Chains A and B, each alone.
Chain A
Amino acid sequence: GAGVSQSPSNKVTEKGKDVELRCDPISGHTALYWYRQSLGQGLEFLIYFQGNSAPDKSGLPSDRFSAERTGGSVSTLTIQRTQQEDSAVYLCASSLGPSIYNEQFFGPGTRLTVL
């Protein structure tokens, strides 16, 4: 079956512009996670969704970052007024449920470059 998909695969933007990154989880997966992979920081958690709710937003680095999930499926991560330090690979993962026994399946990521 289809895995987690993310779009776009690459995004180049100018400093100050807004960007939207999309994640399509595996069908039937209720839990969805966003992570960021950057050279200096490694892989960092951003936000977790269970259904359409986000019980844990503790990893969002600033109020320029927001995310939503609709229909218990697709999620969008929005970064407003992008800065150069936002350049990273943004990864999405989904799992059947929130239990730690449910494997998280990762998408291929969106590489964001802010010029």
Chain B
Amino acid sequence: GDSVTQMEGPVTLSEEAFLTINCTYTATGYPSLFWYVQYPGEGLQLLLKATKADDKGSNKGFEATYRKETTSFHLEKGSVQVSDSAVYFCALSLNQAGTALIFGKGTTLSVSS
């Protein structure tokens, strides 16, 4: 079935370090791909998305490129901040109206100063 696999955490980094969180997917057809973030005590928020192959989503210094050939959507940031500490979820949506999001299990990022 359709699924998302992301690297298990926690990921612990120092401020200004480079971040990569790996995400791969299995899907029938051509899904749209998303990264959601959950800051401590807050609800899930959309961070970025890409709807077709080779699209790059970007927001708040984070980037992810939709790679169809490797079925991946890895999240990267060049220089993390303490305020980036959160749980990050990779997700896909099959391109049908009303289709729910299928999430990975989440990766906890902890950034220290």
Residues of chain A having any CB pair with chain B under 8 Å: 3-4, 31, 33, 35, 42-45, 48, 50, 55-56, 59, 91, 93, 97-101, 103-104, 106-109
Contact assessment for A43 and B99 in the assembled complex, using a CB-CB cutoff below 8 Å: no
Is B17 an interface position by the 8 A CB rule?
A: no
- Measured in the bound complex, the distance between the Cα atoms of B51 and A84 in whole Å is 38
Contact assessment for B100 and A100 in the assembled complex, using a CB-CB cutoff below 8 Å: no
Contact of A48 among B42, B98, B104 (CB under 8 A): B98
Contact assessment for B100 and A56 in the assembled complex, using a CB-CB cutoff below 8 Å: yes
- Beyond A3-B43, A45-B100, 6 additional contacts (C-beta under 8 Å) are A33-B100, A48-B98, A48-B100, A56-B98, A100-B99, A101-B51
Number of A-B contacts (CB under 8 A): 58
Q: A98-B97, A100-B51, A100-B97 are in contact. Are A43 and B43 (CB under 8 A)?
A: no
Q: Mark B23-48, 1 if CB is under 8 A from A, else 0.
A: 00000000010001000001111100
CB distance from B105 to the nearest CB of A (A): 4
CB<8 Å pairs between A and B, sample of 26: A3-B43, A31-B98, A35-B100, A35-B101, A35-B103, A42-B104, A43-B103, A44-B103, A45-B101, A55-B98, A56-B98, A56-B99, A56-B100, A93-B44, A100-B32, A100-B51, A100-B94, A100-B95, A100-B96, A100-B99, A101-B51, A106-B44, A106-B45, A108-B42, A108-B43, A109-B43
Residues of chain A contacted by B106 (CB below 8 angstroms): 42-43
- Measured in the bound complex, the distance between the Cα atoms of B94 and A16 in whole Å is 36
Nearest A residue to B4 by beta-carbon distance? A42
Residues of chain A contacted by B100 (CB below 8 angstroms): 33, 35, 45, 48, 56, 59
Contact assessment for B98 and A43 in the assembled complex, using a CB-CB cutoff below 8 Å: no
- Measured in the bound complex, the distance between the Cα atoms of B89 and A100 in whole Å is 17
Is B86 an interface position by the 8 A CB rule?
A: no
CB distance from B58 to the nearest CB of A (A): 16
